Amino acid sequence: MGVCYSISKAQLEDAMEGISWIIEVMIFGGIIWLLTRLSVKPTSRDWAGLVRKPDDAIDTKEHIIRRAHAVYNAEVKKRYNERLLKQDYLESDQNKIDQANNFVTSCRLDTALLFVWERTHYWVDSSRYQTKWKTPIDVTDLDGSSKGTSKIGSWIEFRPDGERLYSIRLDDPRPHGIDLGYFDSSITLSVDGEIVLCISVTTDSLSEWSSWGFTGVKSLKVGPWVEGFVALYAQLLSIGESEVDDRNAAQLRDQAARIDLGNLDGRR
């Protein structure tokens, strides 16, 4: 037992000496590294927080670089401050546009204007070239052109019996960027010679059921004309639905008339 104990103690002492030597080496190495770092002088390209070289200690190239950075940063700051000053006005204008879009869609004016245009723009040509053709509602002052020109596009003008004079114009379509088949345009409504509504529209001409779709309000003047125009839209919509119902009913009656069930239907 005595021998085993004396050997373990000796080994422990050797191990402690080795650890002490390692610690001393690490401390010495740390001191050398610290002294090396302290001896390095900061330059104008060192990380933020270090002292930059004074102007008289840098070369011409560094002078040019510093001035270029200063000019750029000054312009960026100026532009940022200008945008802050304009921000309130931009927000006010955007809110106004949003309210206009919401008003037009809430009143169904977007749908009404597109529907009335689709139902009326051919009236002039039909009245000119079809002798027995009549407009679905009584109108006067009917005029317009579905041919369109590079100046005013296609337009229709009419006055429902005893009402205001409505004029609707579709501007010549323009290709929509790189989207093949898409076209942009605008439709303008005038009431008694005054422009009251203009909306931007788009369509996919490659679609089998292509039609113009509302994309936003370009101009708007709210007034009593709103109720009258929506009423016109509802009237034309009702007439169109009645025509479809009558046509379907006529087809149904014609089909039934060609069928003879004998006594199967209980009739004699």
For the record, the structure tokens of 61 come out as: 């190239």
Identify whether residues 77 and 198 lie together within a single domain: no
The count of structural domains within the chain is 3
The 10s digit of each residue's pLDDT in 166-214 is 999 998 888 876 767 788 999 999 999 999 999 999 988 777 677 889 9
Identify whether residues 132 and 63 lie together within a single domain: no
| C-alpha pair distances (Å), 264 with each of 252, 259, 261, 268 | 19, 11, 5, 10
SS3 at position 168: strand
Under the banding of pLDDT at 50, 70 and 90, the label for residue 56 is low
Identify whether residues 79 and 200 lie together within a single domain: no
Among residues 189, 222, 219, 212, which one has the least CA distance to residue 97?
Answer: 219
137, part of any domain:
yes
197, part of any domain:
yes
Mean pLDDT confidence for 16-36: 71
Domain containing residue 113: 109-254
- Name the range with the highest mean pLDDT among 32-41, 103-112, 176-185, 235-244: 103-112
Q: Reply yes or no on whether the pLDDT at 63 is more than 50.
A: yes
Mean pLDDT confidence for 7-36: 68
The 10s digit of each residue's pLDDT in 84-129 is 877 877 888 889 999 999 999 999 999 999 999 999 998 998 888 8
Identify whether residues 5 and 49 lie together within a single domain: no
Identify whether residues 182 and 210 lie together within a single domain: yes
